[in-house]
Chain A
Amino acid sequence: MHPIDWLIIGAYLAWIVWTGVEHTRGSKEIEGYFLGNRSNPWWAVGLSVMATQLSAITMVGTTGQGYTDGLRFVQFYFGLPLAMVILSVTAVPFFHRAKVYTAYEYLERRFDLKTRTLTSALFLVSRGLSCGTIISAPAVILSIILGWNLTLTVLLIGIPTAIYTMLGGVQAVTWTDVKQMYIIVFGLVAVAVALVLGLPADVSLGDALSVAGATGRMQAFDFRFTTTETYTFWSGLIGGLFLMLSYFGCDQSQVQRYLTARSEQEATSSLYMSAYWKIPLQVLVLMIGVLVFVFYLFNQPPMLFNPVHEAKVKASPQAGAYAAAEQRFDAAFAARRDAATALTSSEPATRAAAEDAFLKADADLKAVRSDAIAIVQDTTGDRSYRDVNYVFPTFVTTRLPIGLIGIILAAIMAAAMSSIAAELNALATTTVIDFYRRLVRPEAPDAHYLSVSRLATAFWGVFTCIVALFAADLGSLIEVVNRFGSFFYGSILGVFMLAMLTRRASGTGAFVGLIGGMTLVATVAFTRPEISFLWHNVIGAVGVVVVGSLVSLLAPARRPEPAS
């Protein structure tokens, strides 16, 4: 990598850590450290909410999905705007008026201690693990680019983030998120422009999208009502709605963002920023993946995008077979390039034939790649090997001009660090507020809690780095993170639905309902693995509400509490 790119990455890291440390001043007491004294403007909170959700996995995994599958993953977000509307009249006013530090604190006021403790423990387990996968994605990229070992790159991402989060608390997280969001959006727009400018002279953007469309990559909607297809219009709208309700309404890493807003109204406005911009932003990210696919129609791609595995195969007894596959791949690429060129210059009368020829050439190239992947799987013993997460970083580091490489890598690091910081901050808040202050030491000065909070942040920083080292070899990282969440998300949402929507639900009902909902999701996940994980959110939430309501009817609370 060129020194200018290094300089850009170094400047980015210095700027972000400085911004974080600068906000240490406003974090001298616990409300400032965890909630920024509830003083932040809606736009900063809104950018922080978006930066928290948009991790490096979005930039690396989602562009990879755009490259292989096209736009269909965008359906995952169709329920998000509706979720924001529902949350603006439920969770936002409930939490703001209750003046809580964590979403789970509210559950004790409404139900009882055991329900609060169980939900906060589930949050700590699921988020602690998923935060590890959020670190591992950019760490894998850097380990490839720099040729360093993975431990070092995990620490390079994790330590600066843990330091500024530990020192500056939520204010450091929010204001670094704002700057990181600027870098991410700038980086995404810049790479999209570079891809369009990089098209061959006689291929317009319309031609490029038509070629991508011929392979099905412009197919954003799948209206089939099936529970076995992961991303459809209905799973995105219904399953996605439940997932987003749980993520933005019951997950401390997001709830804490909008608890820092100046007012209830500003908290709502911050969520509406995501409602308006998330789908267009996600289309941009996927479209970048589609355009990378088009770029590699006219410019030779590597046969496999993970150079580490490729090197292993070349040093193994399978090297001969791999070299033969490479020769076939070169020929298949040339044939596909010619077919793509013929398709872009075809007249309407010959277009169908040109399209068929192109699709056949594309299938031939895919077949060679499948053979190569099988060789890698045999050599490494890793049957789940996929290189989807390596497509975008390979393109960035080998095809973009000097300067832009540094900016995109800084944007990937920004995406990672903004999410990790919010998670660490939320994990520390839940540890201190829901466990330490509630169960271990209820009466202590703020200074004591502040020290414990910084220690808790450091602990979670180390924990997630360790998880990251194990998560690095998993398949498509974005699905791994979402699968982690879906085992708990729907059920936790169900508990909050019981709390906010009914006055009759009792603490015991909510607690038993939560266990019942999770048992139901686990049963479905293991006995009917073909059901898409997005539906687990619906099953969990409905399961908790049904079981919780029944138990509440059989064992009602002695003195029903009002719903707010």
Chain B
Amino acid sequence: MTGTPHQKTATSAISVIVVEIITLLALFALQQTFSR
């Protein structure tokens, strides 16, 4: 990864949050598919 340390930190932080949102959406989809 290139860029200043601040840019790297920001990119990593955004990646973590995006992945969490995707994970929670997937979990929500699983719930909606199989729940009553």
- Please list the residues of chain A having a beta carbon within 8 angstroms of any beta carbon in chain B: 71, 74, 78, 81-82, 84-85, 88-89, 206, 209-210, 212-214, 216, 218-221, 265, 268-269, 272, 275-276, 279-280, 283, 355
Contact = CB atoms under 8 A, between A and B. Distances in A.
Given A85-B16, A272-B16, A219 B31 contact: yes
Contact of A279 (B12, B20, B35): B20
B23 interface: yes
A82 B20 contact: yes
A81 B16 contact: yes
13 contacts: A71-B31, A81-B16, A81-B20, A82-B20, A89-B13, A210-B34, A214-B36, A216-B36, A219-B31, A220-B28, A220-B31, A275-B16, A279-B23
State the main secondary structure of chain A at its contact with B: helix
Contacts of A269: 12
Contacts, number: 62
Q: Which applies to chain B's interface (DSSP): helix, strand, loop or mixed?
A: helix
A487 B9 CA distance: 33
Given A85-B13, A214-B36, A283-B27, 15 more contacts: A71-B31, A88-B13, A209-B34, A210-B34, A213-B36, A216-B35, A218-B31, A218-B35, A220-B28, A220-B30, A268-B12, A275-B19, A279-B27, A280-B23, A355-B36
Contacts of B35: 213, 216, 218-219
Nearest to B20: A81
Interface residues of B, number: 18
Interface string B6-21: 0011001100110110
A272 B17 contact: no
Contact of A272 (B12, B23, B31): B12
Contacts of B36: 213-214, 216, 355
Contacts of A268: 9, 12
Kindly list the 8 A-B residue pairs having the minimum CB-CB distance in the complex, ordered from nearest: A213-B34, A81-B20, A218-B34, A209-B34, A213-B35, A85-B13, A275-B16, A220-B31
B3 to A, nearest CB: 13
B10 to A, nearest CB: 10
